């Protein structure tokens, strides 16, 4: 039964309501207007007006007026042109059924200094439309794919990370970092308006794309091949999130949305903690300061989870701006946007299991630590996980610009604030059941009661509160320079950018609490009650079972770039150019961590397993908290300086070469500031050693010459063939170089850096064919190959506990194919005029050669899992995107379906732990389906219903190896289905 007001009823009503106004669309409409001479403010006769989508044309009369009739209702692009005038394009001209639409234009004359009459094409398609981005794709010297704000809206993408998944060959890692053609963030240059931003992500040097909401994005552009004017680490590609700029006309927009997730709404298991939750702005870090006056005493505050109330998810945004043309033709304008969002997530019943092969040929068994089954005392790691989180994101975007025909200066300011409060409960009760089948904690006669120290029940509770902030101030200019003495075919173009940016992550008072539970039993005449005891995972051996951690990461950057483009006409008069430029980027990072714990606390708590010790712990008086002397702080600096030269040379009108080289200097410095008892793990060490100042400092410097050569050939008017070869690099991150023990939650995986890590070098090969059969259509096929020297991969090491570190493997190779098709179905069959469809698929095959150390470890007698090669981590086997869109412009009705599927992806390679074989871990393939239905309501309003993740797949990781037979689950969870309803208003002046 469908309840009134239920999401299902809203969905059905929205879908079946689409067809109601269809009959009204059949009556054709018309476009009329006047074309003026901009310089003399007079009507311009003989100008040609063309409709790009239909090919209809009209010529202006002596009074400058024109008219084009018989157009089906829809959205069109007009081109205004006349010899000797700057060509002008006007996009998104809407024709309604039986209505007349006005579209005027003013064309400026273009003259050269030596009285030579020339025609300059300055057609600029809107960056927020698919037509404009398709034109950009075909004109770009690099292989480029893009998605527009229009498509982002139809797909229901909430931020830049979700939008990127719509691009052919692109996906995201951890919900925020770009992966292009199977190459993760270190091989991808992520930018905002062409500027590298700092990041406070402790794991990566990649921009966190989830912090840029869709409401401020004009487009996401992905360049998949390197050209010398790009940064040298654009190996997989360069992702550029282009922010909304100054609109052509004055506009004001407001949007509100309410949503809920099926796993959050009214879920009785939603977790929080006393003192948890978020205020309106998500700024509570100051209230979570270090309790300095209580060091050596009990501390206040919850240490574990509690029942919570699921929050309401909503968002709103407002924006406005426009431009004004002054009497002298100078244009000034601005745009500002304010956005706010509250979101939440929850899952329970998730798995986080660790297995290994105890003896070669045996089936997988749970990993054990702190003893062994043979000793009768050990602990397992088969956790059932419940996690609840809530977040607040808000920020502002402001843009101001002034421009003339020859000069433009633009200022952009963006600030985003994101706060997340996450509560994690992980419980291991299945370890006891595995080793003692039939165990019942309430029945002392069942197996396992006589072995209380063997696989006791475990519980870890983690309370994490993080405030992230990113701020960037960008100033850029574009100028035409009349270098007549150089004999240029057009004025030289000079552009520059200066940017100051900052990112911070403040994680105050992260709390981790661990307990082991032992069932009550009878020993002779003594009755031992059920009891909780402190539990400390092996990696946390120096600390107590309660840890309270303050971590602060601050990263500042400054970037400057200049480019000079010198156009020329070659021997046949075809246009080419020379381009030179410089680039400088400096990043400074400060990492500070202060840990406090109940060292030496061996107290216990009597109670059943469901009687959580964490709830009584804050009220007990025997848990003094003192400061750790094991923390390691560090300062990191990265400087990149580069210069380049490149050319675009037409050999004939249909064939050109694009090439050049980039000289790039990389300097990375890390200075360690250890506390008194800090230890570190030198490469190859099997145990920690004392860390003294200077022991693990890093001073890395490398200079690379990165050549690039490409060719473009148009054998047919609608067919473009491209080929390219280039060399690029991939850099280490501060985390990967720094021997700091990092752990997301108590009992979670450990990462320790490697100060001897080197950069990777890549050789890239690309082929692409683009065929545009008609307006709105595209057929594309690409092949790519990347040969990698010293690829950076993660491996497992042992130092009293298992941890992950980064090493250089000898070599690696990644190859793949991309296929893409887009089509307005009306071009194939007129009754389908309102439909558009598209699909893209990427097939990826990767391989790395293991280091001799890894090969030897896997070939040991107690492992017997020989392996010389494996797949690259983070490279999915395939990516698939499908979409179907339905739109009636005359009624403002649209509906879209988007399906995204990601293939199996290697996360960690095979290794050994405690002398046992640990197989590779793969993320299994999964697909998501999103639906968006929108309807314009009158002149100003529109209503949109969205359903995201309708398939709600199980996100699962598995152990996989030919030595273990069938896959074994490593972890699994679901994210739930999200329904939302939004209302927006737009007023144009």
When divided into structural domains, the chain yields a total of 2
Q: Given this model, what pLDDT does residue 414 score?
A: 93
The answer to whether residues 903 and 845 touch, using CB atoms and an 8 Å cutoff, is no
Which segment of 374-388, 676-690, 949-963 scores lowest on mean pLDDT? 676-690
Last residue of a domain, one of 52, 82, 107: 107
State the Cα–Cα distance between residues 67 and 101, nearest whole angstrom. 10
> What was the pLDDT predicted at 743?
59
Mean pLDDT value across residues 385-398:
95
Tokens 């940016």 appear where? 501
Single out the residue in 72, 107, 142 at which a domain terminates.
107
The predicted model gives 262-286 an average pLDDT of 87
Cα(777)–Cα(836) distance, integer angstroms: 9
Nearest Cα neighbor of 790 from 186, 180, 171 is 186
> How far apart are the C-alpha atoms of 837 and 828, rounded to whole Å?
12
Report the candidate in 237, 243, 193 with the shortest Cα–Cα distance to residue 214. 243
- Which residue did the predictor score with more confidence, 294 or 141? 294
| Cα distance between residue 124 and residue 696, in whole Å | 52
Q: Which residue has the tokens 């999401």?
A: 7
What is the mean predicted confidence (pLDDT) over 207-222?
80
Name the nearest CA neighbour of 60 among 32, 88, 86: 32
- Whether the CB-CB separation of 90 and 22 falls below 8 Å is answered with no
Higher-scoring residue by pLDDT: 795, 785: 785
Burial (0-12, 13-18, 19+ Cβ within 10 Å), 522: exposed
CA distance 339 to 302: 32
Average pLDDT, the chain: 86
Range 897-914 average pLDDT: 92
Dist CA 825 CA 839 (whole Å): 13
Other beta carbons within 10 angstroms of residue 914's beta carbon come to 17
User: What is the distance between the alpha carbons of residues 223 and 230, in angstroms, rounded to a whole number?
Assistant: 9
Of 986, 895, 900, give the one whose Cα is nearest residue 946: 895
pTM: 0.83
Strand partners, 960: 920
9-13, 78-82, 429-433, 480-484: range with lowest mean pLDDT: 9-13
pLDDT of residue 578: 96
Q: How confident is the model at residue 7 (pLDDT cuts 50, 70, 90)?
A: very low
pLDDT in tens, 95-142: 887 788 888 888 876 533 322 222 222 233 344 444 444 454 445 555
Question: Would residue 33 count as lying in a domain?
Answer: yes
Higher pLDDT, 313 or 13: 313
How many residues are present in the chain?
Answer: 989
> Which structural domain range is residue 952 located in?
256-988
From 83, 107, 131, the end of a domain falls on 107
Q: Which of 670, 625, 208 is nearest to 420 (CA)?
A: 208
Mean pLDDT is lowest, of 219-228, 383-392, 513-522, 560-569, for 219-228
Q: Is the pLDDT of residue 360 over 80?
A: yes
In this structure, is residue 226 part of a structural domain?
no
Lowest mean pLDDT among 22-36, 429-443, 551-565, 928-942: 22-36
Q: Is the pLDDT of residue 287 over 50?
A: yes
- pLDDT for 661 equals 98
List 823's β-bridge partners, or say none. Answer: 837
Q: How far apart are CA 578 and CA 987, in angstroms?
A: 44
Domain of 371, CATH number, reads: 2.40.170.20
The answer to whether residue 884 is domain-embedded is yes
d(CA 10, CA 934): 12
List CB contacts of 571: < 8 A, sequence separation 6 or more. Answer: none
The secondary element (H helix, E strand) that includes residue 551 is strand 546-569
pLDDT of residue 540: 55
Mind listing the pLDDT tens digit for each residue in 794-832?
888 776 677 788 899 999 999 999 999 989 898 888 899
**Lookup: tokens for 435:** 């080793």
- pLDDT for the residue numbered 210: 77
Helix, strand or coil for residue 422? strand
Rounded to whole angstroms, the Cα distance separating 772 from 766 reads 20
Nearest-angstrom CA–CA distance, 364 and 369: 16
CB-based contact 871:793 (threshold 8 Å): no
963 Cβ neighbours under 8 A, 6+ residues apart: 357, 360, 864, 865, 917, 919
Predicted pLDDT of residue 758:
94
Is residue 755 pLDDT above 90, yes or no? no
Q: Which CA distances in Å does 785 have to 236, 762, 956?
A: 10, 10, 29
pLDDT of residue 14: 38
Of 66-80, 359-373, 820-834, 941-955, least confident by mean pLDDT is: 66-80
How far apart CA 741 and CA 674 sit, in angstroms, is 12
pLDDT tens sequence across 909-962: 999 888 899 999 999 999 999 999 999 999 899 999 999 999 999 999 999 999
Residue 852 neighbours by CB distance under 10 Å: 10
**Contact in structure between 964 and 363 (CB atoms under 8 Å):** yes
Could you tell me if residue 133 is inside a domain? Answer: no
**Does any domain span residue 27?**
yes
Q: How confident is the model at residue 72 (pLDDT cuts 50, 70, 90)?
A: confident
- Domain containing residue 57: CATH number: 2.60.40.1120
CA distance 528 to 450: 12
Distance CA 500, CA 195 (A): 10
Kindly give, in sequence order, each residue whose CB lies less than 8 Å from that of residue 937, ignoring residues fewer than 6 positions away: 892, 943
CB atoms within 10 A of CB 361: 8
Question: Taking the CA atoms of the chain, what radius of gyration do you get in angstroms?
Answer: 31
DSSP string, 313-343: EEEEEEEEEEEEE-TTS-EEEEEEEEEEEEE
CA distance 319 to 255: 9
Tell whether the model's pLDDT for residue 971 goes beyond 70: yes
Residue 826 lies in a domain: yes
What the block records as the tokens of 159 is 């931020």
DSSP 3-state assignment of 434?
A: helix
Tell me the pLDDT band of 147, cut-offs 50, 70 and 90: confident
Strands (E), 607-652: 626-627, 632-652
Mean pLDDT within 901-911: 93
- Is a pLDDT exceeding 90 seen at residue 89? no
Rounded Cα distance, 860 and 343, in Å: 49
Q: pLDDT-based confidence at 238, cuts 50/70/90?
A: confident
Could you give the CA distance from residue 751 to residue 803 in angstroms, rounded to a whole number?
A: 6
Give the up-direction half-sphere exposure of residue 621: CA atoms within 13 A in the CB hemisphere. Answer: 0
Query: Per-residue pLDDT averaged across 598-625, rounded?
Result: 94
Minimum mean pLDDT range among 35-39, 132-136, 341-345, 356-360: 132-136
At 223 the pLDDT is 83
* 144 or 716: which leads in pLDDT: 716
**104 φ, ψ (degrees, to nearest 5):** -100, 165
Question: Which SS3 state, helix, strand or coil, does residue 214 take?
Answer: helix
What integer pLDDT is reported at residue 156 of this predicted model? 67
- pLDDT value at position 560? 97
pLDDT at 746: 52
Q: Is residue 137 part of a domain?
A: no
Angle, alpha carbons 41-45-47 (nearest 5°): 100
- Average pLDDT of span 522-536: 88
Angle at 941 between CA 937 and CA 942, to 5 degrees: 70
Does the pLDDT at position 366 exceed 60? yes
Give yes or no for a contact between 208 and 416, defined as CB atoms under 8 angstroms apart. no
Residue 178 lies in a domain: no
């Amino acid at each position: 039964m469908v309840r009134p007001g239920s999401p299902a009823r809203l969905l059905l009503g929205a879908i079946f309501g689409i067809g109601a106004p269809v009959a009204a669309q059949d009556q054709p409409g018309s476009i009329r207007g006047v074309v003026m001479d901009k310089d003399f403010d007079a009507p311009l006769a003989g100008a040609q007006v063309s409709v790009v989508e239909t090919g209809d044309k009209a010529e202006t009369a002596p009074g400058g007026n024109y008219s084009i009739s018989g157009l089906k209702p829809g959205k069109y692009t007009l081109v205004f042109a006349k010899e000797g005038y700057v060509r002008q394009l006007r996009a998104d001209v809407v024709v309604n059924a039986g209505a007349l639409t006005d579209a005027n234009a003013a064309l400026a004359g273009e003259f050269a200094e030596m009285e030579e009459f020339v025609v300059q094409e300055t057609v600029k398609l809107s960056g927020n439309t698919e037509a404009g981005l398709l034109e950009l794709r075909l004109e770009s010297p690099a292989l480029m794919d893009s998605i527009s704000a229009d498509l982002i809206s139809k797909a229901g993408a909430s931020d830049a990370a979700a939008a990127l998944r719509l691009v052919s060959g692109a996906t995201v890692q951890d919900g925020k970092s770009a992966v292009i053609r199977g190459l993760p963030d270190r091989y991808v240059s992520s930018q905002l308006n062409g500027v590298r931003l700092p990041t406070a992500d402790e794991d990566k040097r990649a921009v966190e794309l989830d912090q840029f909401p869709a409401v401020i994005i004009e487009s996401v552009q992905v360049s998949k091949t390197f050209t010398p004017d790009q940064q040298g680490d654009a190996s997989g590609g360069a992702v550029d999130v282009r922010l909304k700029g100054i609109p052509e006309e004055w506009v004001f927009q407001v949007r509100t949305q309410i949503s809920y997730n099926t796993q959050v709404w009214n879920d009785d298991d939603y977790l929080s903690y006393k003192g948890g939750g978020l205020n309106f702005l998500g700024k509570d870090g100051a209230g979570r300061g270090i309790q300095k006056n209580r060091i050596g005493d009990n501390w206040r505050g919850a240490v574990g989870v509690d029942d919570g109330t699921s929050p309401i998810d909503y968002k709103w945004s407002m924006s406005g701006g426009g431009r004004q043309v002054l009497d002298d033709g100078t244009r000034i304008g601005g745009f500002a946007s304010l956005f706010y969002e509250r979101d939440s997530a929850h899952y329970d019943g998730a798995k986080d299991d660790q297995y290994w092969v105890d003896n070669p040929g045996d089936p997988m068994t749970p990993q054990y630590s702190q003893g062994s089954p043979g000793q009768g005392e050990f602990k397992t790691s088969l956790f059932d996980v419940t996690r609840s989180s809530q977040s607040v994101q808000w920020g502002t975007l402001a843009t101001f610009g002034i421009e003339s025909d020859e000069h433009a200066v633009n200022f952009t300011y963006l600030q985003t604030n994101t706060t997340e409060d996450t509560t994690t409960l992980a419980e291991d009760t299945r370890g006891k059941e595995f080793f003692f089948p039939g165990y019942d904690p309430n029945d002392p006669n069942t197996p396992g009661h006589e072995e209380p120290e063997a696989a006791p029940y475990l519980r870890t509770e983690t309370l994490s509160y993080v405030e992230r902030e990113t701020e960037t101030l960008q100033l850029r200019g574009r100028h035409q320079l009349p270098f007549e003495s150089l004999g240029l075919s057009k004025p030289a173009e000079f552009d520059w950018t200066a940017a100051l940016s900052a990112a911070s992550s403040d994680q105050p008072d992260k709390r981790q609490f661990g307990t082991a539970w032992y069932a009550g039993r009878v020993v002779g005449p003594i009755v031992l009650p059920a009891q909780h005891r402190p539990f400390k995972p092996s990696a946390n051996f120096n600390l107590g079972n309660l840890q309270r951690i303050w971590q602060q990461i601050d990263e500042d950057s400054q970037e400057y770039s200049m480019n000079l483009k010198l156009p020329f006409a070659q021997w046949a008069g075809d246009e080419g150019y020379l381009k030179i430029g410089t680039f400088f980027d400096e990043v400074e990072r400060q990492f500070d961590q202060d840990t406090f714990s109940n060292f030496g606390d061996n107290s216990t708590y009597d109670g059943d397993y469901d009687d959580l010790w964490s709830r009584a712990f804050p009220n007990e008086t025997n848990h003094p908290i003192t400061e750790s002397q094991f923390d390691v702080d560090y300062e990191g600096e990265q400087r990149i300086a580069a210069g380049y030269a490149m050319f675009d040379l037409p050999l004939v009108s249909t064939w050109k070469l694009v090439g050049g080289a980039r000289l790039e200097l990389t300097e990375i410095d890390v200075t360690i500031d250890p506390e008194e008892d800090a230890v570190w793990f030198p490469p190859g060490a099997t145990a920690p050693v004392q860390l003294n100042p200077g022991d693990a400092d890093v001073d890395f410097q490398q200079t690379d010459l990165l050549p690039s050569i490409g060719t473009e050939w148009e054998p047919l008017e609608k067919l473009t063939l491209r080929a390219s070869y280039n060399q690029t690099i991939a850099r280490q991150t501060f985390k990967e170089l720094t021997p700091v023990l990092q752990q997301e939650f108590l009992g979670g995986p450990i990462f320790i850096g490697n100060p001897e890590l080197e950069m990777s070098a890549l050789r890239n090969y690309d082929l692409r064919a683009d065929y545009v059969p008609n307006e709105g259509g595209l057929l594309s096929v690409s092949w790519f190959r990347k040969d990698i020297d010293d690829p950076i991969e993660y491996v497992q090491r042992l130092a009293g506990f298992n941890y992950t570190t980064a090493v250089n493997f000898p070599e690696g190779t990644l190859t793949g194919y991309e296929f893409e098709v887009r089509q307005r179905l009306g071009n194939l069959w007129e009754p389908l005029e309102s439909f558009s469809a598209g699909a893209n698929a990427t097939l990826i095959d990767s391989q790395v050669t293991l280091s001799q150390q890894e090969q030897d470890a896997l070939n040991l007698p107690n492992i017997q899992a020989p392996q010389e090669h494996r797949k690259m981590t983070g490279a999915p086997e395939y990516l698939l995107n499908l979409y179907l869109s339905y739109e009636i412009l005359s009624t403002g009705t649209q509906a879209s379906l988007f399906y995204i599927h990601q293939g199996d992806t290697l996360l960690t390679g095979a290794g050994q732990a405690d002398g046992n074989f640990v197989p590779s871990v793969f993320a299994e393939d999964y697909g998501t389906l999103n639906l968006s239905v929108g309807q314009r309501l009158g002149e100003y309003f529109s209503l949109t219903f969205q359903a995201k993740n309708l398939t709600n797949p199980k996100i699962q990781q598995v152990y996989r190896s030919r030595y273990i037979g069938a896959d074994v689950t490593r972890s699994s969870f679901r994210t739930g289905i999200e329904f939302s309803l939004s209302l927006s208003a737009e007023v144009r002046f």
